[in-house]
Amino acid sequence: MQATAVVLAAGLGTRMKSALPKTLHRIAGRTMLRHLLGSCESVFDRIVVVLGPDMEPVAREAAPHATVVQTERRGTAHAALQAAAQFGDGDVAILYADNPLIRPATLTRLLQQRRDGAADLALLAFRPADPARYGRVVARDGWVERIVEWADADAATRAIDLCNAGVLCARAADMRRWLGDVRDDNAKREFYLTDVVGLARSEGARVAAVEAPAEEVAGVNSRAELAAAEAVMQGWLRNEAMEAGVTMIDPASVFLSMDTRFEPDVTIEPNVVFGPGVQVATRAQIRAFSHLEGATVGPGCIIGPYARLRPGTVLEGDVHIGNFVELKAATVAIGAKANHLTYIGDASVGAGTNIGAGTITCNYDGYAKHRTTIGARAFIGSDVALVAPVTVGDGAIVAAGSVITEDVAPDALALARGRQVQKPGRAAEIRATKKGK
């Protein structure tokens, strides 16, 4: 039987105090909406995203899934009802885009409870460390009787620690009917999704609660809650990496992206950040205070400390990239080294080549980027400027302090600097003159 997920993403997120729609804020490099859609894609056959007006960026992020627009923001039940024509004939789950951390296993249990547990309506519940003002789930004999909002609860009900997470699942026909019966007779004159539980119970429907881990269903409505969700996700990603054979000296100081990929026996020192699009091969060492994004690190490479790998960087095996070295759109072949204070951009470096301290590829002329090609087994001395486009041949040596504007032939020695002039005794004369003044 086909199952449909309806994701409510029409909220403005005013507490975020941002021009960016709330669901497009990122956790571990991925938008909140895309996190939830990824989980839903593993469980549901169809996904429909409910948007507010003028939310084209959110619609693009939701693609290729269907979208509908809630032209008037009149509450969560009203938002879900906008997707009723796309519910299909199977089961329907209503979820919130600002609950981005719900995992596929939890959604599977919700769907199974509806189908296998003989429940007409299933909802997600959780036990937070501090129940605070969450709505309480009142159950008897294994079935939910009602949900009581904190403001309406007496002392005994407030003592219940099982709280409503807001996610509901029912047969499509039942969900359409209950959503259509929700009324707006409340202070805000809005249609609330939580009223579906009361409507179901009034028909004698069996309502079941599926308990989810509290960290999965915590909502994100502010910058502080976004940071808390980031911390949860980072904890999951670090644990997955370590279980897969990665050593982290100080896991709490390492930040990963959702698509960071490691092979076994990688070692990561403290205070390292992995932006999106990074792959690290076995035996690589990422030393402290390095930042990697859009980069491929080959086996046995040593990166950092204080190194930066920008998008388009590809390091083959046993490459050494040292402190205060930055690479962008660069390929570095096996065994090459750039150990300190260097910028290599829009370049290729051959196998076994050594790049001296202070070397830069001058890749930008103010209008366009140009490429530098350095051959194998070359030696680039300290404080060299390679003015692209330029090629340094295999086995060439470029003397320290040179500004290279023309190609260097293989096995040639290139010097491009002013000749040193020495004037004996002149320093003493200068000191004497200055002292006399």
d(CA 318, CA 330): 16
Q: What is the mean pLDDT of residues 6-17?
A: 91
Place 289 in a pLDDT band, splitting at 50, 70 and 90. very high
pLDDT given at position 195: 92
User: Does residue 191 sit in the same domain as residue 86?
Assistant: yes
pLDDT given at position 199: 94
User: Does residue 213 sit in the same domain as residue 247?
Assistant: no
Q: Decide: 286 and 280 in contact? Cβ < 8 Å.
A: yes
pLDDT in tens, 413-435: 999 998 889 999 999 999 999 88
Instruction: Decide if 286 is inside a domain.
Output: yes
pLDDT given at position 11: 84
Instruction: Decide if 48 is inside a domain.
Output: yes
Residue 115 CB contacts under 8 Å (≥ 6 apart), including other chains = 1, 91
pLDDT given at position 150: 83
Percentage of the chain beyond pLDDT 70 is 100
Please tell me whether residue 411 adopts helix, strand or coil conformation.
coil
pLDDT in tens, 373-413: 999 999 999 999 999 999 999 999 999 999 999 999 999 99
Percentage of the chain beyond pLDDT 90 is 88
Averaged confidence pLDDT in the chain:
95
pLDDT given at position 151: 81
Place 39 in a pLDDT band, splitting at 50, 70 and 90. very high
User: Does residue 296 sit in the same domain as residue 256?
Assistant: yes
d(CA 289, CA 252): 13
pLDDT given at position 436: 85
User: Does residue 27 sit in the same domain as residue 104?
Assistant: yes
User: Does residue 237 sit in the same domain as residue 195?
Assistant: no
| Angle in degrees, CA 396, 400, 403, rounded to 5 | 85
Q: What is the mean pLDDT of residues 319-345?
A: 98
Residue 70 burial class via C-beta count within 10 angstroms: exposed 0-12, middle 13-18, buried 19 and up? buried
d(CA 267, CA 289): 13
pLDDT in tens, 71-82: 988 999 999 999
Which residues are part of the catalytic machinery? 340
pTM to 2 decimal places: 0.92
> Any idea what DSSP says for residue 420?
P
User: Does residue 252 sit in the same domain as residue 175?
Assistant: no
pLDDT in tens, 146-189: 898 888 888 999 999 999 999 999 999 999 999 999 998 877 88
Q: Does 118 have pLDDT greater than 90?
A: no
Q: What is the mean pLDDT of residues 185-212?
A: 91
Instruction: Decide if 156 is inside a domain.
Output: yes
pLDDT given at position 383: 97
The values of phi and psi at residue 219, to 5°, are -80, 160
| Structural domain ending residue among the three candidates 151, 183, 217 | 217
> Any idea what DSSP says for residue 408?
B
pLDDT in tens, 262-272: 999 999 999 99
Which structural domain range is residue 171 located in? 3-217
pLDDT in tens, 62-103: 999 999 999 988 999 999 999 999 999 999 999 999 999 999
CATH code for position 229: 2.160.10.10
Instruction: Decide if 361 is inside a domain.
Output: yes
Distance of CA 377 to the CA centre of its chain: 38
pLDDT given at position 152: 83
pLDDT given at position 184: 87
User: Does residue 92 sit in the same domain as residue 174?
Assistant: yes
pLDDT given at position 190: 87
User: Does residue 75 sit in the same domain as residue 100?
Assistant: yes
Q: Does 310 have pLDDT greater than 90?
A: yes
User: Does residue 277 sit in the same domain as residue 206?
Assistant: no
User: Does residue 259 sit in the same domain as residue 277?
Assistant: yes
Domain count, the chain: 2
Taking CA atoms, 402 is separated from 328, 359, 361, in Å, by 22, 10, 12
Place 244 in a pLDDT band, splitting at 50, 70 and 90. very high
Place 115 in a pLDDT band, splitting at 50, 70 and 90. confident
CATH code for position 167: 3.90.550.10
User: Does residue 209 sit in the same domain as residue 269?
Assistant: no
Q: Does 131 have pLDDT greater than 90?
A: no
